[in-house]
A and B are shown apart, each in its own frame.
Chain A
């Protein structure tokens, strides 16, 4: 398959790209740091003897998205999937007084995703096949005071993906919403309050399996489904008084 990875330099994205290359798929690794993308591409190409190309992609420069999708189609004659992995998490407290952080969070985690994914969606719909996989978050399952700016943007993304899945299902296009828990990457390393931290390789394996089995929603590791179920089941009258 020919697959585009958006936001390819993050820890989880690198693990996903590695898994995809090991399975023999050809990749376009897209992001802003071209030097990083170039060394990643060389690495995956040499190790796995597949085609891997770096490409510049800026999520917030939404007027460039159309051209980006066209450039991917110049690189590969057909595309089989897109994996969207980027996101932005600012400080919750700061976001309560600084609208710039709120705007950046919503634009990165929601608006830009809609902008790029609807273009891929149209392509896959016409092609009558392909997959869209996007990383949302367990934080989008319920608003909590410690993280609701980020959480609400991811919640909106999850709803968008749900609608997209509904629309594309008849065209045979699958849409996978991934909700990872804590993953051992730069974002979590050395941070306090981390628990049940999963290895990125494990998360990447789960995601690959879910893509292959055309799953709709993936919690990874699996136990987050049950943790979030319990959190969602708490009545709002009690939940609003809790410190979460």
Chain B
């Protein structure tokens, strides 16, 4: 008989912290046994815990840790199609396949995510403007439904469930395994151009002028800059570095195992701010004009992963990460959001800005064409939530939405306005999971599943 451990759980933002019953299945058979045990009323999958808020939490309910479902099932060296269980992490995929000339087609800013979590949050990365979300490269997956039945979902089979599960924050079932198309690469390095923009207008201009020339594109914004310097930023845009372009002596596909610095306890919250001010200034003032560099994938995609538990730098009360997307015509909303944040003195020093490409058919998938802005906000007191709800209203007014993978504060009425396909999602959910065996704290907070 499989037993759970009663334990406190939190997402990456350390807010909220909730008690749940954590099960740890070793395989699909265990998942089935847990779902049919009747031990809990409902369940939600929990992978590496990198979503920030209550996406994978289930207060006083069942939580299924998926990290032991981590087998690589097949790999085709010629096509680059990889099939693996949902608990395999992006770090695993890189370690095993980069030396063989394949890399992730899309990656978020951390490699410590599971494939299942990536699908359930339909993660995006620095190439969203050209390639879309991770779902663009997901060929199919096996989903265990509330009934215990395992179904294949793809663009041909169970199409509606496929697009409900993409970005569906775990509410359609447990993803057991998936097939993903990896990308062939010659090297583990990127040619990156660093450009300064004195303000937000210029940054957006640069994006509009030349983003199509760069497969990867992102900007760091100094949130303390105001007035005519509002949105002062460094753009980092680049492409894969061909093996032939590398300095002699560099083995193009060899992994470097750098030391990993860990944050062993909760820091006072000014620590991270000072660190990010330092790294931004190094970039901004360290170079007099635009500069080109060859950068190893780890520092290009995952600058914070080298500090193992960096979230503890925000202290005990935790933080929220706020990420919103605005359509191109909602640019004014983006600027107002930056203004409010820099004048409120609430946000962390750094914000991340990037252009996003077309929306996909994922019913609750976040990205849509325009600009997305993300930043950390430490939680000092409850007044923050009033402020964030006002920001949500601003986002709605300009036709934008916030990202569920980062969220812990959205109100159900705001959520429904931001995600107009919610009704379709609910209809599919009610059909395949009429008793709401899959539920989460987030699903109840947002009114996707009733209390």
- On A, residues with C-beta under 8 Å from B are 11, 33, 36, 39-40, 42-43, 46-47, 186, 189-191
List 13 other contacts, CB 8 Å, given A33-B29, A43-B72, A46-B74: A39-B27, A39-B71, A39-B85, A42-B72, A42-B73, A42-B74, A46-B75, A186-B2, A186-B24, A189-B3, A189-B24, A190-B2, A190-B23
Q: What residues of A have a CB within 8 angstroms of the CB of B206 in the complex?
A: none
Given contacts A186-B26, A189-B24, contact A40 B3 (CB under 8 A): no
Q: Are B4 and A47 in contact (CB under 8 A)?
A: no
* A185→B335 CA distance, assembly (Å): 52
Within residues 74 to 128 of chain B, which ones have a CB less than 8 A from any CB in chain A? 74-75, 85, 96
Q: Are A36 and B27 in contact (CB under 8 A)?
A: yes
Q: Are A11 and B73 in contact (CB under 8 A)?
A: no
- Partner pick for B72 among A33, A46, A186, A189, CB 8 A cutoff: A46
Q: Are B2 and A46 in contact (CB under 8 A)?
A: no
Q: What residues of A have a CB within 8 angstroms of the CB of B411 in the complex?
A: none
* A26→B26 CA distance, assembly (Å): 23
Q: Are A42 and B5 in contact (CB under 8 A)?
A: no
Q: What residues of A have a CB within 8 angstroms of the CB of B30 in the complex?
A: 186
Q: What residues of B have a CB within 8 angstroms of the CB of A11 in the complex?
A: 26
- Partner pick for A40 among B2, B23, B24, B71, CB 8 A cutoff: B71
Q: Are A190 and B5 in contact (CB under 8 A)?
A: yes
* A47→B96 CA distance, assembly (Å): 6
Q: Are B26 and A191 in contact (CB under 8 A)?
A: no
Given contacts A11-B26, A36-B27, A186-B26, contact A47 B72 (CB under 8 A): yes
How many chain B residues touch A (CB < 8 A): the figure is 18
* A217→B75 CA distance, assembly (Å): 40
Within residues 18 to 67 of chain B, which ones have a CB less than 8 A from any CB in chain A? 23-24, 26-27, 29-30
A34 to chain B, nearest CB (A): 12
- Partner pick for A190 among B3, B27, B29, B74, CB 8 A cutoff: B3
Given contacts A11-B26, A36-B27, A46-B96, contact A190 B4 (CB under 8 A): yes
Which partner residue on chain B sits nearest A48 by CB separation? B96
Q: What residues of A have a CB within 8 angstroms of the CB of B71 in the complex?
A: 39-40, 42-43
Q: List 14 A-B contacts (CB under 8 A).
A: A40-B71, A42-B71, A42-B73, A43-B73, A46-B96, A47-B96, A186-B2, A186-B24, A189-B3, A189-B5, A190-B2, A190-B23, A190-B24, A191-B3
A interface secondary structure, majority: helix
* A78→B73 CA distance, assembly (Å): 27
* A64→B96 CA distance, assembly (Å): 38
Q: What residues of B have a CB within 8 angstroms of the CB of A191 in the complex?
A: 3
Which partner residue on chain B sits nearest A189 by CB separation? B24
A41 to chain B, nearest CB (A): 9
Top-8 shortest CB links A-B? A190-B3, A43-B71, A39-B71, A46-B72, A43-B72, A190-B5, A46-B75, A42-B73
B177 to chain A, nearest CB (A): 9
* A175→B202 CA distance, assembly (Å): 72
Q: What residues of B have a CB within 8 angstroms of the CB of A33 in the complex?
A: 29
A214 to chain B, nearest CB (A): 31
* A39→B71 CA distance, assembly (Å): 7
A89 to chain B, nearest CB (A): 13
* A39→B26 CA distance, assembly (Å): 12
* A42→B74 CA distance, assembly (Å): 7
A40 to chain B, nearest CB (A): 6
* A11→B30 CA distance, assembly (Å): 13
Q: What residues of A have a CB within 8 angstroms of the CB of B3 in the complex?
A: 189-191
Q: What residues of A have a CB within 8 angstroms of the CB of B73 in the complex?
A: 39, 42-43
* A33→B27 CA distance, assembly (Å): 11
* A47→B94 CA distance, assembly (Å): 11
B411 to chain A, nearest CB (A): 36
Which partner residue on chain A sits nearest B95 by CB separation? A47
Which partner residue on chain B sits nearest A10 by CB separation? B26
A19 to chain B, nearest CB (A): 16
Q: What residues of A have a CB within 8 angstroms of the CB of B5 in the complex?
A: 189-190
Q: What residues of B have a CB within 8 angstroms of the CB of A47 in the complex?
A: 72, 96
Which partner residue on chain A sits nearest B71 by CB separation? A43
Which partner residue on chain B sits nearest A41 by CB separation? B71
Q: What residues of B have a CB within 8 angstroms of the CB of A190 in the complex?
A: 2-5, 23-24
B75 to chain A, nearest CB (A): 5
Q: What residues of B have a CB within 8 angstroms of the CB of A46 in the complex?
A: 72, 74-75, 96
* A40→B73 CA distance, assembly (Å): 8
Which partner residue on chain A sits nearest B75 by CB separation? A46
Which partner residue on chain A sits nearest B82 by CB separation? A46
Q: What residues of B have a CB within 8 angstroms of the CB of A43 in the complex?
A: 70-73
Q: What residues of A have a CB within 8 angstroms of the CB of B75 in the complex?
A: 46
Q: What residues of B have a CB within 8 angstroms of the CB of A42 in the complex?
A: 71-74
* A42→B73 CA distance, assembly (Å): 5
* A114→B72 CA distance, assembly (Å): 35
* A35→B5 CA distance, assembly (Å): 27
* A43→B96 CA distance, assembly (Å): 11
B64 to chain A, nearest CB (A): 13
Q: What residues of B have a CB within 8 angstroms of the CB of A40 in the complex?
A: 71
Within residues 339 to 394 of chain B, which ones have a CB less than 8 A from any CB in chain A? none
B405 to chain A, nearest CB (A): 27
Q: What residues of A have a CB within 8 angstroms of the CB of B27 in the complex?
A: 36, 39
Which partner residue on chain A sits nearest B23 by CB separation? A190
Residue with the highest number of chain B CB atoms closer than 10 Å, among A11, A42, A191? A42
* A186→B70 CA distance, assembly (Å): 15
Q: What residues of B have a CB within 8 angstroms of the CB of A36 in the complex?
A: 27, 29
* A40→B96 CA distance, assembly (Å): 16
